[in-house]
Amino acid sequence: MSMLITETAPPAPQARPRTEALLPPAIILLVFAMVVIALGGFAYVGGQQNALNTLRSQSEAMREATGALARTDASAAHVISGDRAAMSEFFRNAETLRELRTTTFDVIGGVTPALDTLLKDWGEATTLAVDGHPDTARQVLVDRRTSVTLDTVADAAAGAVANAEAQFGQHEQRIQIFTLAVLLLQVLSGTLAIAAMFFAFRSSAREANGRSAALRSADTSRGQVARLFEMADVLQSATDYGDANQVLKATAADLLPGFGGALYVFNNSRDRLVLSTSWGHEGQVHESIPPDQCWALKRGKAHLNRAAGSKLCCEHHHGEGTVLEIPMIARGEIMGLFQLFADGEDAEARLEGVTGLASAIADGMSLALANMGLREKLRNQALRDPLTGLYNRRYMEDCLQRFVRLADRENREVSVVMVDLDHFKKLNDEHGHAFGDAVLRDAAMTIVSGLRETDIVCRYGGEELVVILPDCNLDRAADKAEALRLRIEALSQTHGAAISASFGVAAVPYTSSGVSDLLASADGALYRAKQSGRNQVVAAATRPFHLDRLEDALERPQHLVAAE
């Protein structure tokens, strides 16, 4: 059985869109950019802070140098004015200037020589003042223009302080601007990274939903396949169409809920599809369908008959519903037709969605029907004669044994009529064996058509036939044999040759008590019919039997007598 279920099988994975595939590397690049921007910003701001601290230190040093310069000038003036106590203060201030000469004044270009000259002039003037020559000291300062040198050094130090303060402002402005730029870049890259992560999360959620749907679809498909295997396993035990119909209904109700359905199989002549079973939508079910009116059978594939529209529709389809028709094919032979019904605006889409599953069910049923047909064919070949279609001798013996035991247990009657065609060898010799076979087949059909459905006709051997008549006494069996004799004699007109048969009749309990003597009694009666001229009915001689058997036979229900 084909187990291909295209609709409940898991969906094939789809390629991710290019934009979604680029999201992970984009997020990595954005995070890397954020880190680089942060590190670069920190490095730049740190450098600017260091430069700012340097400028601040230089500015403070310049201010300290300017103050030291003023203090030295003042202390020197005090010394020259005669304040000997200020001499120590002058030395301290002069020492401070000498220390600042290399650390601070060297930064100011061209100031160091002037500072050296200034310190030298102050030193000589203070020495003269201490030695008692203050006027000479003042004259030295005047002659050497010490005040001008002092102004030059002081102006240079003040200019350096002003320049440092200007650079200090520039550095602070750069730090602010770059800090703002870094912040904006961080915000922008962070926003882009968050957006990228959002889209990546949404893509991942969509993929997760797709995988979850695929897993659910796979689970559903596995359940459907398991149910189909279960159906196939149960169908192996089905003995007839009734069993197969029950299995089909149960499987369809489980796997195809909400859909009606029907199963059609060919009749014996294979000229019509007859309804085997149906469920739901009984109003759209036909008792039979001509094969030439069904496009599914003509095409050998599933066909959808729509309620309305211009698309191809089978001639047998009438009604408002939509019907999916699937031909049931096994071993290259069409076994029947499987139908699914649906109503509503979405009926077509629903039916198309379950076409694969319905086809799998139809395949399983078609194989089951083919197997049942094969088993029936083998059974018929084992139990029936291939020429006449009658039951064979083995089946006759088993059946007669059963009927005789039942008759003995329940005080009932069983009659046997043995039939032999007269001069059958002469018919074969004069008209050929094909003619003889045709006469034998027609005689068999004539006998079957003249009996009840409960009566059994068998081919005993050659041209001999045996008829088993359950619940029939000896007299009625003889009467039936006479009617059959006349019907066989009437075949002479059909075939244009003399055709007749001899009959021997026996019955339990009238002439026999068991199977062996029942057949022997009928065969003996047949022999006497042939010896007496053929074309006649002879009943076997009766035998003594218990009175209760006779009373029971006479008191049988009237409906059994009427049935005979």
CATH number, domain containing residue 42:
1.20.120
Helix (H, G, I), strand (E, B) or coil at 532: coil
Residue 2 maps to a domain: no
In angstroms, the CA 3 to CA 122 distance is: 117
Write the CA distances from 92 to 78, 96, 257, 372, integer angstroms: 14, 6, 111, 130
Domain end among 382, 406, 435: 382
pLDDT at site 438: 94
Same domain, 177 and 268: no
128 pLDDT band, cuts 50/70/90, is: confident
170-179, 269-278, 327-336, 437-446, range with greatest mean pLDDT: 437-446
Q: What's the mean pLDDT in 19-25?
A: 68
Give the least confident one: 17-21, 112-116, 378-382, 518-522: 17-21
- Phi and psi of 332, rounded to 5°? 75, 5
Separation of alpha carbons 342 and 321, rounded Å: 6
- Residue 239: the pLDDT is 74
Do residues 502 and 412 make contact, with C-beta atoms less than 8 angstroms apart? no
In whole angstroms, give the CA distance from residue 123 to residue 130.
11
Share of the chain above pLDDT 70, in %: 88
- Helix, strand, coil percentages in the chain from 3-state DSSP, rounded to 5: 65, 15, 25
State the CATH number of the domain containing residue 301. Answer: 3.30.450.40
Helix 474-489, helix 433-449: angle, nearest 10: 140
Which sign, positive or negative, has the C-alpha torsion 311, 314, 316, 322? Answer: negative
Q: Residue 4 domain-assigned? A: no
Dist CA 370 CA 294 (whole Å) = 21
Domain-embedded: residue 77: yes
Q: What DSSP string describes 313-350?
A: --TT--SSSEEEEEEEEETTEEEEEEEEEE-STTHHHH
> Domain count of the chain?
3
Average pLDDT over residues 466-490: 95
Per the model's pLDDT, the better-predicted residue between 399 and 19 turns out to be 399
pTM of the complete model beyond 0.85: no
Instruction: Out of 310-319, 378-387, 408-417, pick the least confident.
Output: 310-319
Q: In angstroms, what CA-CA distances link 194 with 20, 24, 184, 209, 497?
A: 15, 12, 15, 22, 106
Same domain, 445 and 457: yes
Round the average pLDDT of the chain to a whole number and report it. Answer: 80
Average pLDDT over every residue of 559-563:
42
**Looking at the structure, do residues 377 and 471 belong to the same domain, yes or no?**
no
For 506, the 3-state DSSP assignment is: strand
DSSP letters along 105-150, please?
GGGSTT-HHHHHHHHHHHHHHHHHHHTT-HHHHHHHHHHTTHHHHH
**Domain limits at 92?**
23-200
Question: What is the reported pLDDT for 545?
Answer: 66
In a domain, 231, yes or no: no
Q: Which of 123-127, 145-149, 252-256, 396-400 has the highest mean pLDDT?
A: 396-400
Question: Could you tell me the two tokens for 560?
Answer: 């059994």
If asked whether residues 260 and 161 sit together in one domain, one would say no
H or E element, residue 467: strand 464-470
**232 lies in some domain:** no
CB-CB contact of 468 with 458 (8 Å): yes
The answer as to whether 347 is a domain residue is: yes
Q: What angle do CA 145, 149, 151 make, to 5 degrees?
A: 115
Asked if 534 and 449 sit in the same domain, the reply is yes
Confidence check: pLDDT of 122 > 80: no
State whether the Cα torsion 233-237-241-243 is positive or negative. Answer: negative
Greater confidence (287 vs 45) lies with: 287
**Beta bridge mates, 334:** 329
Residue 20: which pLDDT band, with cuts at 50, 70 and 90?
A: low
Average pLDDT over residues 127-133: 77
Q: Which of 142, 172, 200 is the last residue of a domain?
A: 200
CATH of the domain at 516: 3.30.70.270
In the predicted structure, residue 302 carries a pLDDT above the cut 80: yes
Give the end of a domain, one of 367, 382, 397: 382
Query: What mean pLDDT do residues 355-360 have?
Result: 86
How would residue 550 be classed by pLDDT, with cut points 50, 70 and 90? Answer: very low
| pLDDT tens per residue across span 64-108 | 777 777 777 787 787 777 776 777 777 777 777 777 766 666 666
Highest mean pLDDT among 164-168, 251-255, 374-378, 492-496: 492-496
Over the stretch 184-231, which tens digit does the pLDDT of each residue have?
Answer: 877 877 787 787 777 777 777 887 888 888 777 777 778 778 878 778
pLDDT at residue 279 tops 50:
yes
Whether 355 shows a pLDDT value over 80: the answer reads yes
Q: Look at residue 71 and tell me if it is in a domain.
A: yes
- Joined together, the tokens standing for residue 167 give 């650079």
Contacts of 105 (CB under 8 A, 6+ apart): 65, 111, 112, 115, 153, 157
Q: What is the pLDDT of residue 429?
A: 92
pLDDT > 80? residue 530: yes
Do 377 and 396 lie in one domain? The reply is no
Mean pLDDT in residue range 140-161: 76
Tell whether 18 is covered by a domain: no
For residues 259 and 374, state if they share a domain: yes
